[in-house]
Amino acid sequence: MSEVSEGVQAMDRAMDRAMDGAATGGEVELDGLTKKYGTVEAVRGISLNIRRGEFLAILGPSGAGKTTLLNMLTGFEKPTSGAIRINGRDVARLAPHKRGIGVVFQHYALFKHMTVAQNVGFPLRMRGMSMREQRSHIQHALELVKLEGFAARFPDRLSGGQQQRVALARAIVFRPALLLMDEPLGALDKRLREHMRVEIKRLQRNLGATVIYVTHDQNEALTMADRVAVMNDGVVEQLGTPDDLYERPASAFVADFVGETNFFTGRAVLDADGRIRVVLDGDRPEHRREVENAASLRPGSGVEVGVRPEEVSLLPPEHAEHDQAPAVLGTVSDVLYEGATALHVVETPIGDLSARLSLKNLRETRWAVGDRVAVHWDARAARGYPAADRAS
């Protein structure tokens, strides 16, 4: 018993010596970070703060600058301008090996000629830890990723998911204050990906590490992250909690990229009551619709209105003039059965739109192709964006 606790204490002392005592999550501050490749601006003046122990996902389409941003954090690219502070210390000019950041690479980047244990022990060895001291840390890290029995194997004798976990163990074994992951689950199949999400999340909570997690996959971002930064074209379009992002997208781009959205074009008008409403192209001119986010619209200018498919309901056509929110009449042109839901494509004067109806809704009335329907949505579910807003 005492032997064990002594061992643990010795391990912690060794760790603290090696890691400057940085045991838990670091605070990261990006300040006007910019990277230019020739004339291409891959990252354009990004400023954001990441809190101690936070899980931040960076979500964005291909070419958005995610990897470039990560490479500046790890030190493989020098910023053209701007600062990176980790726990208040500017690291922008520090060499990669002096930053003490744990990185999980997209294709794991394991050392093929080393065993799992040697892979995981590498950062410890680089910190001058003796073999004896390394052993317990390696053991502990492998336990965390549930690979206890695999220490003596070589990486090419492991499955994709196991390799991924070795990469993870290697990145956390030296208890970095900051853990970066560039699409760490990109190469795994769907089930394994979902399993690993839970594992990574659990690990992060146990370690209390700050994590920056780059992904293409919005589900990954929304389910794992405390906050998500949506990147596009070198800038952060929106930084917020997953529900912020989904329910209150700040731009048409975010609305489009995160989840699905029906977009309608229209024009903002200033009503007699001093409120800004929207007339949709193709709609009856007397239908002046209320939208969320109306304050950002300029009267007379073009507008895009986004409505999520699950916010759209379909009613029999006789309900067209229903309450205060006017309906649009249309014809069902396609029904795609999805299991728990069914996606209905409807042709209307304001454009084609989709409505995702739950089976519960459908129990009363089922719609078939060719049916006339009245399309409704709640005014609080429609968000307006200035038309020039969208970059792509």
Partner 1 sequence: MSVDSSPVQVTGGLATRSRGRPDRRWLTLVPLLAVLILLFVVPLGTLLADSFGGGQGFTLDNYREQVTSPVFWRAIRRTLVIAALSTVICVVLGYCMAYALTRMPKRLRGVLLVVVLVPYFTSILIRSYAWIAILAPNGLVAGTLKLLGVDSPPELVFNQTGMLIGTVQILLPLALLPIYSVMSGIDRAPVRAAQSLGAAPAVAHWHVYRPATSSAVLAAAALVFISTLGFYVTPALLGGPGDTLIAQSILVRFSNLVDPAGAAAQAALLLLIVLSLFTVLFRYLAPSLAVEPSGDARPARRADRGERFDALRALRARVLDTGLGLAGRLRLPILVGSWVAGAALLVTPLVVVAIWSFSDATYLTFPPEEYSTRWFADYFADTAWLDSTFLSLAVASASAAIGVVIGGLGAFGLVRGPRRARPPIAILVAMPMIMPPMIYSLGFFLLVAPQGLVGTPLGLILPYVVLGLPFAVSITAAALRNLDVRLENAARSLGAGPMSVLRHVLLPALRPALVSGFVFAFLAAFDDVVVATFMSGPTAVTLPLRMFQDIKLEVSPRTAVVAVVLLGAGAAAVLLRFVMAWLVRTIRVALSRLGDS
Ligand X SMILES: Nc1ncnc2c1ncn2[C@@H]1O[C@H](COP(=O)(O)OP(=O)(O)OP(=O)(O)O)[C@@H](O)[C@H]1O
Which residues contribute to the site for Mg ion (CB under 5 A)? 67
Measured CA to CA, the distance from residue 98 to residue 70 in angstroms comes to 16
* Residues within window 79-108 making contact with partner 1, judged by CB under 8 A: 95-97, 99-103, 105-107
* Residues 282-301, interacting with partner 1 (CB under 8 A): none
Binding to ligand X by residue 59, rule CB under 6 A?
A: no
Closer to ligand X by CB, 10 or 391: give it: 391
Hey, what are 350's tokens? 């304001």
Give least dist CB 63 to ligand X, A: 4
Closest residue to bound Mg ion by CB = 67
Whole-angstrom distance, CA of residue 58 vs CA of residue 67: 10
String marking each residue 300-339 x if it binds ligand X according to CB under 6 A: ----------------------------------------
Q: How far is the CB of 127 from partner 1 (least distance, A)?
A: 6
Backbone angles phi, psi at 255, to 5 degrees: -60, -40
User: CB-hemisphere CA count at 13 Å for 257?
Assistant: 30
Residue 66 is a binding residue for ligand X (CB under 6 A): yes
Under the binding rule (CB under 6 A), the answer on residue 356 touching ligand X is no
Binding ligand X (rule: CB under 6 A), the pick from 16, 37, 281, 298 is: 37
Which of 22, 27, 48, 63 binds ligand X (CB under 6 A)? It is: 63
Residue 25 interacts with partner 1 (CB under 8 A): yes or no:
no
Q: CB of 3 within 8 A of CB of 136? A: no
Least Cα distance to 386 among 285, 295, 286, 270 occurs for 295
Interface stretch with ligand X, choices 37-45, 81-89, 219-227, 361-369 (CB under 6 A): 37-45
Segment lying near ligand X (by CB under 6 A), choices 64-72, 129-137, 277-285, 356-364: 64-72
Cα–Cα distance measured from residue 116 to residue 209, given in angstroms and rounded to the nearest whole number: 23
- Report the C-alpha gap between 132 and 175 in whole angstroms: 18
Question: Which residue from 25, 60, 249, 384 is in contact with ligand X, where contact means CB under 6 A?
Answer: 60
Residue 153 interacting with partner 1 (CB under 8 A): no
Q: Are 24 and 11 in contact (CB under 8 A)?
A: no
Under rule CB under 8 A, residue 130 binds partner 1: yes
Residue 24 binds which of partner 1, Mg ion, ligand X, none (CB < 5-8 A, kind-dependent)? none
**Does residue 40 bind ligand X (CB under 6 A)?**
yes
The span from the CA of 265 to the CA of 279, in Å, is 9
CA distance 112 to 340: 44
| Residue from 14, 33, 68, 277 binding ligand X (CB under 6 A) | 68
Binding site for partner 1 (CB under 8 A): 74-76, 95-97, 99-103, 105-107, 109-113, 115, 117-118, 122-123, 126-127, 130-132, 152, 154, 167, 170-171, 174
Binding site for ligand X (CB under 6 A): 37, 40, 42, 60, 62-68, 216
